Amino acid sequence: MASVLPRTVQGPPVPLRWPPEDNRIPREIFTDPDLFRWEMDAVFTGPVWVLVGHEAEIPQPGDYKTLSVGAVPVIVVRGADGQVRVLVNACAHRGARVVEGPRGNVLKGGFRCIYHMWTYAPDGSLLGVSLPDDFPVEFRKEDYGLPRARVALYKGLIFASFHEQTPPLEEYLAELTQGMDRVLGDGRLRYLGSIKVIFRTNWKLYVENIYDGYHVTALHTGFQVVRLRSHGGQRLVPNYERNGHLWGQSRSTRREELQPVLRDMSLFDVRTKPTTDHNMMVVFPSGVVTDYFDTIQLRYVLPLAVDQTLIEFTFFARADDPEDVVRHRVRQGPAVLGPAGAITLEDAAALERVQQSSVARGDNVILKGTPKRFPPYRHVDEAPIRHFYQAYRRLIGVPVEEGTP
């Protein structure tokens, strides 16, 4: 059974014009369908760890969830032995998608492909085939399991890699582990549910928006209505020499100081920690980990097309939370950090406008905070976006000048 997918990356499909200034981003990277198809391999099956879940989402043997790593459909599953695996969701026979639907349990029956009724165990091994009478004599079930990604865990977070030379996970994450410790605690979480929404924008525009502290109070009217502000903090870029993750640390207006414009302001209560300090992290290239007020959230960024990106907003409580706190988290999470929440409502509209205008020739320009060359940056800066694209350029093979962050 293959442990990683064979790689075919040789170089960019066409020469890519990239300005010499590191704060200028060519708009064609958001609209070129050939580049999009190529970067699904160059980036997502490159030497990166992609966030694909948390163990709380698949707590029992046989539990599984589906999503994708770039363009590769995968199944994240807990085997009968309790081990977490990430399998390619394509039958080893004729390539049909084995599993449809977001999640379930296959401990008893295994994964069964509807096309020719090939059946796989939760660990991806082939259990049986239909009508094998006239198969070649050399056919062996051991040779036809579902390919597996490499898997690594941190505080219950599940990461997958299809590259043989990805560094050890904690080395890859660098100082980002400190932020994860703050959000995840001991890692024992309770899965509350997910919301999926399609943003009509390129996946990179969605991710870079999280690196951008400049837009937050300018764009989000929910902040303005209740007078929710950020009061200090910083934006770190752990491992920026290689991968450019983001760790945003911020403090928000205290609940009692918010403008009481809502009939029930308890939506913004903070019941599980002493302050409104919060963390927002991006695990390059596409995983988001955050705690905001009492919301614990993971986001999975799933590219669908050059101008469409599926975002899965996933919410958690701590395993030992009392039920009243769980109910509070269930209410607050989607209403504050969901796709139509008080904080993220306007992102879809703004990013769609950027996408539509990217067909115009030219560059998007990053300015705020860029006189400072290296992190830490202020929490209102957009400068960290530069580091996201430096990491992206390294993976797609566009030269990065010596000394560039």
Q: Where are the domains of the chain?
A: 48-174, 188-396
pLDDT band at 265 (very low <50, low <70, confident <90, very high): confident
pLDDT band at 274 (very low <50, low <70, confident <90, very high): confident
CB 16 within 8 A of CB 283: no
Examine the pLDDT at 96 and tell me if it is beyond 70: yes
Per-residue pLDDT at 320: 97
Question: Architecture of 48-174 per CATH?
Answer: 3-layer Sandwich (2.102)
On the CB side of 391, how many CA atoms lie within 13 Å of its CA? 28
Per-residue pLDDT at 230: 62
Examine the pLDDT at 224 and tell me if it is beyond 60: no
Per-residue pLDDT at 267: 78
Question: Architecture of 188-396 per CATH?
Answer: Alpha-Beta Complex (3.90)
CB 187 within 8 A of CB 84: no
Per-residue pLDDT at 149: 98
CA angle, corner 286, sides to 337 and 172, nearest 5?
120
Lowest mean pLDDT among 159-163, 291-295, 299-303, 311-315: 291-295
Distances (CA, A) of 227 to 223, 359, 405: 6, 36, 35
Examine the pLDDT at 89 and tell me if it is beyond 90: yes
Per-residue pLDDT at 153: 98
CB 13 within 8 A of CB 34: yes
The per-residue pLDDT of the chain, averaged, comes to: 91
Q: Tell me the angle at which helices 385-396 and 33-42 cross, rounded to the nearest 10 degrees.
A: 80
CB 63 within 8 A of CB 78: yes
Average pLDDT score over residue span 120-149: 96
Examine the pLDDT at 253 and tell me if it is beyond 90: no
Length of the chain as a residue count = 405
Name the residue type at position 42: A
Examine the pLDDT at 226 and tell me if it is beyond 70: no
d(C-alpha 272, C-alpha 255), whole Å: 13
pLDDT digits (tens, 9 = 90+) for 9-58: 566 666 788 999 999 999 999 999 999 999 999 999 999 999 999 999 99
Token pair listed for 330: 């269930």
Per-residue pLDDT at 401: 59
Higher pLDDT, 260 or 116: 116
Higher pLDDT, 250 or 330: 330
ω into 376 cis (within 30 of 0): yes
d(C-alpha 382, C-alpha 379), whole Å: 9
Distances (CA, A) of 399 to 12, 237, 297, 404: 11, 20, 35, 10
d(C-alpha 247, C-alpha 332), whole Å: 22
pLDDT band at 109 (very low <50, low <70, confident <90, very high): very high
d(C-alpha 98, C-alpha 90), whole Å: 6
Examine the pLDDT at 242 and tell me if it is beyond 60: yes
Name the residue type at position 289: V
pLDDT digits (tens, 9 = 90+) for 357-383: 999 989 999 999 999 999 999 988 999
d(C-alpha 118, C-alpha 99), whole Å: 12
Average pLDDT score over residue span 258-274: 78
Per-residue pLDDT at 23: 95
Per-residue pLDDT at 402: 52
CB 281 within 8 A of CB 211: no
> From the centroid of its chain, how far is CA 401?
28
pLDDT digits (tens, 9 = 90+) for 46-88: 999 999 999 999 999 999 999 999 999 999 999 999 999 999 9
- Phi and psi of 196, rounded to 5°? -115, 140
On the CB side of 379, how many CA atoms lie within 13 Å of its CA? 18
Of 326, 322, 52, 54, nearest in space to 187 by CA: 54
Higher pLDDT, 116 or 12: 116
% of the chain at pLDDT higher than 70? 90
Token pair listed for 252: 């928000």
Per-residue pLDDT at 221: 65
d(C-alpha 259, C-alpha 53), whole Å: 36
Average pLDDT score over residue span 176-195: 97
Average pLDDT score over residue span 238-267: 79
pLDDT band at 266 (very low <50, low <70, confident <90, very high): confident
Average pLDDT score over residue span 129-134: 94
CB 309 within 8 A of CB 294: no
d(C-alpha 256, C-alpha 252), whole Å: 11
Structural Rg of the chain based on CA atoms: 22
Per-residue pLDDT at 220: 64
Per-residue pLDDT at 29: 96
Q: Which residues contact 124 (CB under 8 A, 6 or more apart)?
A: 1, 85, 87, 145, 146, 147, 148
pLDDT digits (tens, 9 = 90+) for 282-309: 999 999 999 988 999 999 999 999 999 9
Per-residue pLDDT at 321: 97
